[in-house]
Structure 1
């Protein structure tokens, strides 16, 4: 169908039909128009896979790719393009047309719960990766939905807080990935953020959605709300929000028709919004898609291989004093809470039900055999007590658990996220109760900790005794997207081998903003000093010790910022004990962002593996044994301590926010720009990463807009490095960073090989955004051009002189 055809089609729609296209019909779908044979449009989360139309828990399995920060660490837009293409296949397997991805908000702080889902602290790196990812998706006819537009850099009061950001910082930092997504990648979808931007909700911010997005950048795609992120009718439609999600509508439908009749919204505006929706449906082929809805689990060998390769490409070798790569030692001690658990993804809307998970232990067993491995957990690192397997839920069509249940179903685990079709569709999803029953058999005798949190009211009983109560005195916390309470725990003495009955009673409560019900309960035996001592003993008897520590999707999750960046629980004590017991220790970190490392001076090798997707253990093993290079470079600065990062101000309005406002006081000085300005040395700088060979860079030449250097692999094996070009304005009339990343390229060379690498700098790369002039401005004078391998390793430098120049937006 041509553009002219949709221009004709939109005028064939009645006002009611046009309005129907501007809000969802269900949680993941839009209505078609049966009269004109227009098919339905379907969407799916998310950035590291296609979950499909089910709940956040369970459902049809899907391929799980590396988390956003792992893709960011690859510094490889071509690989991001490959991943985007594979994810397009995944979206199609879930019978969807639109992927709610990528997430490109900037790593403003080190404690943002959603850092794992985003690419970088640097806007140019994030922009380049977003362009590749979107191009890969849309080349196969699947729409991207770049998010969250804009100013969603923390998860505290995220649905209501106002991000106070000056226009220059917005243009130079926080809008940059979105700008390139529009101008270079031609994204078909943009998702508005929950938060307010400078006092106005993003979903009804005309400056953001119309002035910047459509007028300045020439965007012709659709803008959809985040789920329940549209709060008004006429203001959102007039501001430029095309689509309210999810359905059924809260703010449109008859309300919008009435607003048109009352003159609050023009018919032309509704027509424009409907035309945008038809254009999207045309692009993704849903106009003529009348297939029966079916979701498939397609576990493709090529996707397995890509995920494994991408996991290794994002792994950052932070430190190595000759321990890595591993040879074939006689005995390997495998230690830590992340050793036998595959931490493959963060939490929240990015999570999915993977085809499989390969833990580090399983990857090592497959590689060297179990007889050469010993194991000790040492400590725990869970935020919430581990869930129970196989429970039964009985649903009641009242909120008091009265009468006989109207539906009973088996559940794989003791966690649920109920959205629609609750209780087999036999209860009102906003007004029901449930009793969930399971059995737990302890392996050891002694006190066990039971934990429970819920978006709803709940109580937990063990063999009939009340152990946890979040029914009376329920208090809003940081779980389930800020709709749930914090976990409450209680102890019960259990006997090894003797099963106990665990019963949780649940009832709905009025929601705050997001309409769903959820719970999670679990149990574990607390560990202590004895288990750490045992881990040290196991390490002392091995040739090499591998310590797998970090966080999980319980900590790195949408809806909840971190309280600090220390490793949770007793992990620092565990690492120190193992390092003292075995000098050949490798610390393997899995986190969604920086952590403090008080033991770093004693650690001979540290590998940051992030959340690398379903091939986790295999990808990590490939790097540890040197079968592939650790290809990653840090996309975010690691500070020595939490207090060093840009948002650790004495003023709580700067972070985490105060009285409904979070003020971006640091302006453009985020990430490495902040550390340069303050003269603070980081633990590991932006762009840092080691390999198993060495590189030298020489012979800097700048001719016009081209920067050329010679890169030489001076080591004994093939490898890769990232050439990074930074620009600084030496005579600026406004406060500018000492240096800003403006170009980069991943270079692969054989041992002893040299190559000239040329990168391009445009006039825009020397400019700042002049708010008064309303455009980009290059000031006449001298600029530094620095080239090297990280923001703190820039051996080549020259100065260039630029003429004054004004550039359009």
Structure 2
């Protein structure tokens, strides 16, 4: 069917729909789908959370298994546009396996600060890198008939009070930094879907922001797809519809339905506007095939070998070799000490709506054992790095009550495998609503050692924990909203209890739902554990001293790097810094493998022989890490975010709380366009590791660049080319970055801005010509006065580098007349 026929069909459908039926399509029916209109043969549109997998219609915990791909910051560090396209294609297959038509992905917000809880989900601090990778991901996904839903539009760069905070951002900064990835998603990626952010932008909620949704998205960029709210992220009836929000999610309707019908009848929303919103939804349904998809909704766990291989390759390509004093790759035949809290736990993803139930998890220990055998490996955890007490696992019985007071007879009973739940919609076998129930869980815990155990509980709702009948942790009596469960839960409340080794302890957890703030969430998590101490570090030191090399696997996990909660700082949690220093003193060949969702401070950077930043690389984590450590794969990553020497060096840090984390409901992006490496340039701050940095297992030579500026005066276009040669003995990849630096400008501009890049893979001795092209936008700034992009007359430096500090060569080009470009 061609576009004209499809439009005619959709117009016919709109004309045939009653007002009530039209309005029904503008809200979800449930958490993951729209209602069908059976009278006219309109089927359901189904969506699935992403972006590093396709979870399907289950909750955040459990559900049908799915492939876990590397997180955004890992893919961003690959700097590989074609890899992102491959990942998009694979995720389309994953989305289809869950019976969905739209994937809620990719996340293209900018890494403004180093402490954003969702930093791991984003690609980069740079708008052009983010935009190119995001457009490629969208292109791959949509080539298979699955719609992307690029998010979160716009200004969602912090998780602190995100559902109410107003991001105060001037228009030039918005246009030059935070909107570019969304602009590329529309213009280059052709995205069919856009998701609005929770936050306000300059005082108005993003979900009812007429300037963002109508003037910019649809007007300036020509977007004609579907705009949906984030879940519970819309707050009004007529304002959202009139501003351009097509779809309120999730369902059932809160501010639409009968309220919207009444608004139409009162003249607050026109029938024409309702038709426009329905047209956007039906167009995407027709494009994805959802309009006529009347088959049964089936979700499958498809563990595909080709996806396993892609995840393993992509994970290695995102890993960044930050330091190597001739210790990597590891030679054969060495005795290896495997140390650290992340050694035997597979940290494969961050927390929040992107988490899925993976097919499997490969830990670094598993990967090394698979590659080397266990004979030459010795293990010691050394310390912990958990944010919460260790999750209680085992058989738990849960009784549900149809009230908030644990009163009367239980209406449903079942068992759980862990003391963790995230309830949505209906619970207790579908007999009670998630916001109107209580529950009692019982289990036994058998301690392996005697000692004083810590018992922790956190909940979106009221909760408390009894051990052998004694109240130990109380998040019921004085419940206070904190930073768990998307800011709907309290911070973990911890108590202590003395337990004897081998003696079972009776655990009772009581929970009651309560009124929520914004998100309709009922949830809890309970843990119990014996704290680690100096003896554990001593055991790790002993293991390191008896080995040829010590691998220390440290970092964070999805408890820290998570949606709904920013980090308190970027110092490694727990005693990890002490562990690294102690191990390094015992073994001069100590290699740190970091798994975090962003930068960390490294007080031990000069004490260790090697550092690999491995991020959260998906379900093949341990295999990909082992591939890099053993030299089976190149550490292909280069930093897509600057690593500052200390937290206070990063762009969003300020003594003024209005800059970060926000004050009185506003967070001011006062640094403007001076974000990321631009900030470090502007203030002369030397980072720990610069933007674009990463070492290789081979070496490269770069010829001076040749510049063709013959079309610069007429069109604003410049071409740059150079030869790159692999001068080493191994295959490997390098990164060429091209920055534009205005010598003079009528407004304050960064000293340099990334405008083009190329990831180059070469065999030993191979030489390749690299061509980079700059268009007029690469030289332009946004002139607020005229509402246009302006290339000002003057001299522009073209700076070629392998990272933001390692510059190879530069040339200048000159313009004598301005160029004005429409948005």
Please, what TM-score do these two structures have when normalized by structure 2?
A: 0.98
Matched, 1:163 2:167: yes
Q: Who is 2:803 aligned against?
A: 790
Distance 2:417 2:721 in 1: 57
- Choose which of 557, 571, 588 in structure 2 pairs with 1:566: 571
Q: Deviations over 1:383-421 (max 9, x none)?
A: 011111132211011111122211111112111000023
Q: Is the partner of 1:699 in helix, strand or coil?
A: coil
Matched, 1:804 2:804: no
Q: Which residue of 2 aligns with 1:655?
A: 660
Provide the rounded CA distance (Å) in 2 between the counterparts of 1:486 and 1:329: 47
Cα deviation digits, residues 20-45 of structure 1 (max 9, x gap): 11000001110111100110011010
Q: Give the CA deviation at 1:112.
A: 0.3
**Deviation of residue 3 (structure 1)?**
2.0
> The residue matched to 2:662 in structure 1 has which SS?
coil
Aligned residues of 1:697 and 1:788 also touching (Cα < 8 A): no
1:270 aligns with: 274
**Contact 1:329–1:543 (8 Å) recurs in 2:** no
Distance 1:717 1:192 in 2: 46
Q: 1:393-472 to 2 correspondence within 5 Å?
A: 393-472=398-477
Q: Distance in 2 between matches of 1:409 and 1:313?
A: 44
Indicate conservation of the 8 Å contact 2:123/2:640, yes or no. yes
Asked if residue 732 in structure 1 is aligned to residue 736 in structure 2, the reply is no
2:787 maps to 774
CA distance in 2, matches of 1:738, 1:329: 49
- C-alpha distance in structure 1 between counterparts of 2:245 and 2:94, whole Å: 27
Describe the superposition over 1:605-646 as per-residue Cα deviations: whole angstroms up to 9, x where unpaired. Answer: 000000000000000000000001000000100000001001
CA contact (8 A) 1:18 1:270 kept: yes
Which ranges in structure 2 are unaligned for 5 or more consecutive residues? 710-717
Deviation at 1:486, TM superposition (A): 0.2
Q: 1:397-796 maps to which residues of 2 (within 5 A)?
A: 397-704=402-709, 705-796=718-809
Structure 2 SS opposite 1:137: helix
* 2:147 counterpart SS class: coil
CA distance in 1, matches of 2:274, 2:158: 33
Q: Indicate whether 1:215 and 2:219 are aligned.
A: yes
Taking the aligned partners of 1:24 and 1:402, their CA distance within structure 2 comes to: 33
Query: Cα RMSD over matched residues?
Result: 0.8
1:652-706 Cα deviation digits (max 9, x unpaired): 0000000000000000001000000000000000000111001121221110321
Greater CA deviation, 338-347 or 705-714? 705-714
Residues in 1 aligned to 2:591 and 2:11: alpha-carbon distance in whole angstroms: 62
Aligned counterparts, 1:110-509, within 5 A = 110-390=114-394, 391-509=396-514
Cα deviation for residue 712 of structure 1 reads: 1.2
3-state DSSP of counterpart to 2:540: helix
Q: Residues of 2 paired with 1:7 and 1:28: CA distance?
A: 26
Query: Does the 8 Å CA contact 2:704/2:808 hold for their aligned counterparts?
Result: no
Alpha-carbon distance between aligned partners in 2 of 1:331 and 1:174, rounded to the nearest angstrom: 49
- Which of 85, 88, 101 aligns to 1:97? It is 101
Deviations 1:339-393 (A, max 9, x none): 0000000000000110000000011111111111100000000001111113221
| TM-score (structure 1 length as normaliser) | 0.99
TM-superposed CA distance for 1:329, in Å, is 3.3
Q: Distance in 2 between matches of 1:801 and 1:489?
A: 65
SS in 2 for 1:601: coil
Task: Compare 258-267 and 437-446 and name the one that shifted more.
Answer: 437-446
Which segments of structure 1 move beyond 4 Å, counting only runs of 4 or more? none
